[in-house]
Every structure is written in structure tokens, then in C-alpha cells.
Amino acid sequence: MFDPFGDFDSKGYLRNTRKDKAPVIIKHMEHNLFRANLADALTYLADQDVIEYGHFLEVHRLLFGNYYPWAGEDRQMTAPHLLVSKSDTTFCEPRSIHLAIDQGLRLAQREQRMGDVPGEIMGLFAYGHPFLDGNGRTMLLVHMELAHRAGFSIDWPATNKDDYLRALTLEIESPGRGILDRYLLPFCGPVIDRNQWADNVLAMKGLDGLDDENQVEGDLRDASVAEKYRQFDEARNYSYRHAVPGAPDAADDLDYTEEYRGKGSGPYLS
């Protein structure tokens, strides 16, 4: 059982408010909360002029805050030293989560490339994996809103779960090569009415991203774990352009002049 807090026996799975431990009950609670709070989360996203990292976090809180007290807090807050993986896929170390999500949001909104690289953007969200649980549902809603603003929709219920997850896994490992783009683009079509979104989302199978549960890959303060992550991140060979600290209005005009390429950036790695 995924237990990053180390208190599963006394507080249940991820310190949920009911102290539930049985996986079937936990998944049932998560799904019911998602159904109950879906409309509020979609309305919240629609009301934002520009979707930013904080809005990504707030969607998660709206969906799961009644069950997980830490909902809306990313792994830098909840598990700052842990490297997390799922289904043999390693996610980015906590200090790089914001960077990965921001890159996806920037491509979608500032560079207006949502219609060209929807898979690359989804892969960045998935690699960022901000939360201890509920990532797939959260990033799906954000991705749907970004697609709507770009003038198209993805027929998610028509996608094949296994094919999608296979492409998503490869996208995380080798980002920016068009792997998930090639899978998703045939399912892209005209925008659909917002009133249909909830039904479309709930018709999907495997809402929570990659199959299986999260697992702790190790403590990043351990040199061997840090080196393993560094090698994985470097092999991804993905370049992020990021705002230079102190640049005038950097947050607004995104005057990107420096570059980060996968070299294990973070507090634990040199």
C-alpha cells in the first residue's frame, strides 16, 4: 500500500478523513467525490482568464478536499523528499513539479500550441504528477478546458484505455517526440457544449491515469536514489525554457531566455 506519510495503520490511506484502508472503499469514495464535485471544478476552470499552476492545485482541492485534508497541496508540500513512481513510470522529483506543469500550461496558452501538441502537454502534466492521488482526474479536467479554449475537443470515451496508457507511458519517458500526439490527434474534433462534458468524462474508463497505485521509489536524500532519478531525467532529454528570476514582468509576458535540459535539477542533485 502506498504510504508516503508512514502512518497507514493509524490514519488510513493517505490520512483520509474516514481512515479508510480497503482499496475498494477508497476508490469508491474517490469516484463518488469526483462525481459530486465535477460541476464545481469545471465551473471554476471556466471562470479563470488564464489557467495557472495555482488553479491546477485548486481543482484538485475542489474534487477531493472532503476526503484528503492535503488536497490541493503538491508533493513538494506533502512528500518533499520522496521519489514516486507508478506502473514502472518514474515521475519528476518534487522540486520540478511546478516547472513541468508550467511548461504544459505555457505551451497550451502562451504559445497557442494546444491543437498541435495535446499529447506533449498531457505528458507534461502526467510527468509532473503533483498529487499523492487524484492526478489523472485533475489533469484531464484542466486539459479539457485548455482544448476547449483552443477550439477543439478530444473524444475521450472513444479512446482505448490500454493504448492511451501505453502512449502516455512512452511520452513520459521520451517527451516531445510526438508519441502521445500521434495517438490523440485522430480523436480531436469540434468543440462540444460544456453541458456534455460531465457525461463524457464519466463515460471514460481508467480515469486516474496510469494503472495501479503510486509507490515510493525511494528517498531523494539517498545518493543512489538521486542518481537513479538523475539518469532517468537526463535520458528524457527534454528542454524547458523558464522565466529568468527578476526579469521584468516575467510572469506576465514569459520572456524565456534561459534553458533547463534534463540534468536532474533540484535540491538533492548536482
Q: Vertex 239, ends 238 and 243: CA angle to 5°? A: 145
In the chain, how many H helices and how many E strands?
Answer: 12, 7
C-alpha 70/C-alpha 213 separation (Å) is 18
| pTM for the predicted model, two decimal places | 0.88
The answer to whether residues 70 and 5 touch, using CB atoms and an 8 Å cutoff, is: no
Cell numbers 476508490: residue: 27
Give start and end residues of each alpha helix (H) in 129-191. Answer: 135-149, 161-173, 179-184
Tell me the torsion sign for CA atoms 84, 45, 165, 102: negative
CATH of domain 78-261: 1.10.3290
Domain boundaries, the chain: 78-261
pLDDT in tens for each of the 270 residues of the chain? 899 999 999 999 999 999 999 999 999 999 999 999 999 999 999 999 999 999 999 999 999 999 999 999 999 999 999 999 988 889 999 999 999 999 999 999 999 999 999 999 999 999 999 999 999 999 999 999 999 999 999 999 999 989 999 999 999 999 999 999 999 999 999 999 988 998 888 888 665 444 568 899 999 999 999 999 999 999 999 987 643 334 333 334 433 333 344 444 444 443
The answer to whether residues 142 and 56 touch, using CB atoms and an 8 Å cutoff, is: yes
